[in-house]
Amino acid sequence: MVGEVHLGSERRPEGTPVTDLTDIARAHRLLVALDFDGTLSPLVDDPMSARMAPAARSAVEALLAAPDTAVAFVSGRSLGDLRIIAEHSDDSPILLAGSHGAEYLIPGAPVDEALDPADVEVRDRLRADVEKLAEGAPGSWIEPKTFGFGVHLRTVTDAAAAERLRASVDALMADAAPHWRRRQGHDIVEYAFTDAGKDAAVAHLREVVGATAVVFAGDDVTDEDALRSLGPDDLGIRVGAGETAASVRVADIEELAAVLSTVAHERVASRQ
């Protein structure tokens, strides 16, 4: 059941989902893991122009200043692209999980090893084949990703052409790479030769920072893996419409930012 977050002092019955910001704010060590596109940044036609909304940026900064609080961005974007759109500097304390958790940038941790050349050859060949298919759907474009590619359909005005492209790419991948994982998002279909998911990403980040509780927020189908994985002392937030495993729903980025800012404020107040 999706509810509303609130502040309160009554003890939460055992087994019920967290919706009380006072509960989550009092966690000994809190991880706030956030999807980026559609969660912190508005969805845009040019994905590389995405940037955090001002309210979201302020909320993230408030969380970073709160005691015993770690912030992570967990995205389907390749790590390099995520760093660009998140304006993530080398000295940033924000942890990054790119490619749905197949890539990480954690301060002080070693960088992941290079990909197997055989995987790269197959990835690039299939991506080139799909780019040719995309020529039949004006407005579509293929996003290179570390472990595969994404087929963007947001700017395709011909619905029939978009559906033909989707079907033709599915057929190609079913024949050439049936073991690749397919993910459907907002006007994008992603294909990858890694099975990494945001549930595993959140679990890994939880362990890295020693979190006793997690807040995770996302707006898309791919975020549901993480939302379903949360425990009874965690808080899952769905941004916008759609079926969800989250215990709380907010309407948009601004409402999410207000919730996150309240968590930051409550964490500061609880330690004073």
Residues belonging to the active site:
35
Q: What number of other Cβ atoms are within 10 A of residue 141's Cβ?
A: 17
Q: Tokens at residue 56, please?
A: 């979201």
Q: What number of other Cβ atoms are within 10 A of residue 196's Cβ?
A: 20
Report how far residue 214's alpha carbon sits from residue 33's, in angstroms, rounded to the nearest whole number.
Answer: 7
**Helical spans, DSSP H, in the chain:** 21-25, 54-65, 79-85, 117-134, 159-176, 198-209, 224-229, 253-270
**Residue 214 in contact with residue 234, Cβ under 8 Å?**
yes
- Coil/strand/helix, residue 183: strand
Read off φ and ψ for residue 153, nearest 5 degrees.
-125, 5
- Coil/strand/helix, residue 270: helix
SS3 content of the chain, % helix, strand, coil (to 5): 40, 20, 40
